[in-house]
Structure 1
């Protein structure tokens, strides 16, 4: 069976692979709904402490499968595509209290680019490019593109990329602050796994609270954010991982975090 999403779990890391390589991992309805279910399963699976989202084949994701939206029989319509496909995916990526890495293994275009940018850490190899391809076919950036891109790289640059549809190399994306880091192509998967393993071995409850705080900072004023920091810090200080971290520091040993 050729599954549109492939999931494997190794060393407490969920590797989620977009698996429609013949169409550059572009989304159809089945794939979008399947990804949502896999993300929900990973959220509730106590074995999973970090997630890696990547693509099979030459591309990370080319966005929406245009054959679906131009097919009289298959076209779900843009309201359903956004309300039932992409918006729930972005919401899940941001609300799952576990770190999510986008391992961009090839071109990331349209919704594919913006799904990557919604993740907590974006890693890309040196041959990758990102493109806000929407304007080139008369559309606007969706999947959180108009929200995240200006906040990542600034209003002026984001506006130009969204309107002109320019390709952005991995190196330029790193320079702009659009992504975290460019990795060598030859050992890309190994280096991604090293970062993911590092996250999975950290106090993941605290990482989830960091994610929550960053989410709220997008709309909070300073006083609201300071109050939230106080609340989350008190919660973090009551975890077993905090006690372990302090003990390990005092005893000058490596901590053994359990995510609890």
Structure 2
């Protein structure tokens, strides 16, 4: 399916930009790119696709930022039948080869952090550093990640944000009210939740990831939010321990830390990239 023949999607009210496309093993993959400097590839979570947000803009001031959309999300083609996270790892190996060509600083948020970590563990030669933000993927006893698939849509805004969520109403997979983009955006966001469920419904964490992260010898950073109601604090601590990584906790932010505190998150990523470049 080419971009021209794909069904028309709802256009978000804020932050929308036209993507570029690259064919990755038959899957048209949408991505946005801006800036100059070292290449940084950002893998999104299960929401807030089809946009160039202030977070992206902050990063692009200092680096060459490449922000693809996973298959089944945003304007990329659908997930292959019966696809798993392993298929996404191969997809992003091919994407990095086709679009970047050199080792990239790999950054992932939420579900995207889990995917980024898998890519880094299987193909470390393609990764200059790994940054995970509010990461999914590990099992931490007595601190389960909130089940996003069981949450009431009306409660998602309060769960994702620490401050006033009103300015970001159409980002979160919530109800289909006009301020949240209406029924078209509602359908788009819940289609993407379906894609997320296809990847992580049966396995909300990967027990093998612990030993793989501990063997990964890459510069790494863990970014957590001080008021995260989705990913408990113990997860960031465990990721940092396994990766022998610096942990940065951003205050006054919930799980939507890249939206609520874009400059602080971008600064932490740029600092790591600069440290690696200076070695």
Higher relative contact order (CA 8 A, sep 6+): 2
One fold, TM greater than 0.5? no
**TM-score computed with the length of structure 2 as normaliser:** 0.36
Task: Flag the structure with higher helix content.
Answer: 1
Rg larger in 1 or in 2? Answer: 1
**TM-score computed with the length of structure 1 as normaliser:** 0.38
